[in-house]
Amino acid sequence: MLEVPELLNIPPKLYPMIEKFNNYSYFLLEGGRASGKTQSVARFLLYIAEARKVRICCGREIQNTISDSVKTVFEDLIKTYNLNFDFTKNIIVHKSTGSEIIFKGFREQGKINIKGLEGVDILWIDEAQAITKPTLDVIIPTIRKKNSVGIFTMNRTTRFDSIYTFLAGRQDCLHININYFDNPFVDEKILKEASIAKEKNLNDYNHIWLGLPLANNNEFLIQSETIDKAINLEVKQEYFEKKSVMSVDLSASGADLTIAKLIEKCSGTQWLEAKTEKWTEADTDITKGKIISLYSRWQPDILIIDADGLGYPIWVSVKKVIADCLGFRGAGKPKLKGAGNQRADGYTALKDFLENGWLKLTDKETIRQVEYIKKSYKPSGLIYIQDKKEIRREQGESPDFADSLMMGIYAINFYSNLFVKTNSTNYIENKTISDFNPFED
């Protein structure tokens, strides 16, 4: 076993992080509560900072105050082992080597702030499950100093977590899964708490104590096994008249994407997420042109476009060229009993299609976003889908891919006399395209 100084008393399962530190660009340490991940990384970084001059950034997605960071962990270790560091409100500095440890929140006032990351030797992100893909896409290219290293400690919330997806399976990443039973420093009280949690609620235990993604959390609309079923679905290519739907989720701000999808019918009840196109364009005339061009190329039976907010004038403009173009109004009057609005209609229909094996998913970004869509119930008992603004705050992105898919399924399920209905029992009403008015009361 590796002989280490007292400061490096960490779970042996994490020794490879020390032994192979110079062999990897990234370290992904994941697992549940009391596994020792945070404490171990803090100890190791203090050890490095005492040995040579390094610049270390400890970051989180959001850090409103310094108390939101791991600074207290460092300070407690410095005091316990009487280490040669000075610490002020925002920085820790080694008195001899000049090593610096800084603390940063990457998202400030809705924007990603990477100021100060240039020249960082080691980036440590604790609670890395909160890092959104847009933030990751910005910070990774910024940490470009020669031999720089990224360390990520986390307990995954979803299977398609942005950090996990980015790092898992990479040859330049050392990936260690560690849990409380791998930590010899865990006391009896923690072991008792874990045992009680296991008996009380196995799903919570699996996530909190074993670090497994929230596969069956009631907050999420669609369960992970349902998504797996849709990914692996074998579609039957039966011969019949081809039918298809084109859906377009329009960009609501400069950071969002416009997503167009083509959903094709493969058999009597099965549909395929066949094509996905994305673009960012502030010019509404260009977006209108792209939609009309794709419509001409794909030749769908139905076209449905986001008609809420900034999407309304584009829908009106496209409708002048394509008269049968549907406009989707997420906040509009629902068609399903128990749904709070049309957005809930659409996602409820998407859930039904996935659970019943009526839709095969193919696009990775769509799959990732569909998994984190949440539902809620109002006091009235009506179901609603998490607001896009709330999703943007949590995920750092708008669910453009998922919403485009949802609108396509909405069109199939509610407003087409061209397709066989598969779920008619819950309809409040059933209309055809010619009857459609998205702003009816």
Domain ranges of the chain: 6-208, 224-435
State the amino acid at position 218 in one-letter form: N
Bin 50: left if φ > 0, else alpha if -120 < ψ < 50, else beta.
alpha
* CATH assignment, 224-435: 3.30.420.240
In the prediction, which pLDDT does 240 show?
62
- Cβ–Cβ under 8 Å, residues 217 and 161: no
Q: What is the pLDDT of residues 86-131, one digit of tens each?
A: 988 889 999 999 999 999 999 876 678 888 788 899 999 999 998 9
Q: With cut-offs at 50, 70 and 90, classify the pLDDT of residue 329.
A: very high
Nearest alpha carbon to residue 258 among 143, 404, 378, 149? 404
Question: What would the 3-class secondary structure string for the chain be?
Answer: CCCCCHHHCCCHHHHHHHHCHHHCCEEEEECCCCCCHHHHHHHHHHHHHHHCCCEEEEEECCCCCHHHCCHHHHHHHHHHCCCCEEECCCEEEECCCCCEEEEEECEECCEECCCCCCCCCEEEECCHHHCCHHHHHHHHHHCCCCCCEEEEEECCCCCCCHHHHHHCCCCCEEEEECCHHHCCCCCHHHHHHHHHHHHHCHHHHHHHCCCCCCCCCCCECCCHHHHHHHHCCCCCCCCCCCCEEEEEECCCCCCCCEEEEEEEECCCCCEEEEEEEEECCCCHHHHHHHHHHHHHHHCCCEEEEECCCCHHHHHHHHHCCCCCCEEECCCCCCCECCECCHHHHHHHHHHHHHHCCCEECCCHHHHHHHHCCEEEECCCCCEEECCHHHHHHHHCCCCHHHHHHHHHHHHHHHCCCCCCCCCCCCECCCCCHHHCCCCCC
In the prediction, which pLDDT does 216 show?
56
In the prediction, which pLDDT does 421 show?
44
Q: With cut-offs at 50, 70 and 90, classify the pLDDT of residue 203.
A: confident
Q: What is the mean pLDDT of residues 162-188?
A: 94
pLDDT higher than threshold 80 for residue 138 = yes
In the prediction, which pLDDT does 438 show?
45
pTM for the whole structure:
0.72
pLDDT higher than threshold 70 for residue 157 = yes
- Cβ–Cβ under 8 Å, residues 26 and 140: no
pLDDT higher than threshold 90 for residue 277 = yes
Q: What is the pLDDT of residues 11-27, one digit of tens each?
A: 999 999 999 999 999 99
Query: 362 to each of 272, 405, 409, how far by Cα in Å?
Result: 8, 11, 15
Q: What is the pLDDT of residues 205-242, one digit of tens each?
A: 988 999 988 755 678 899 888 999 999 999 887 666 77
In the prediction, which pLDDT does 253 show?
58
* CATH assignment, 6-208: 3.40.50.300
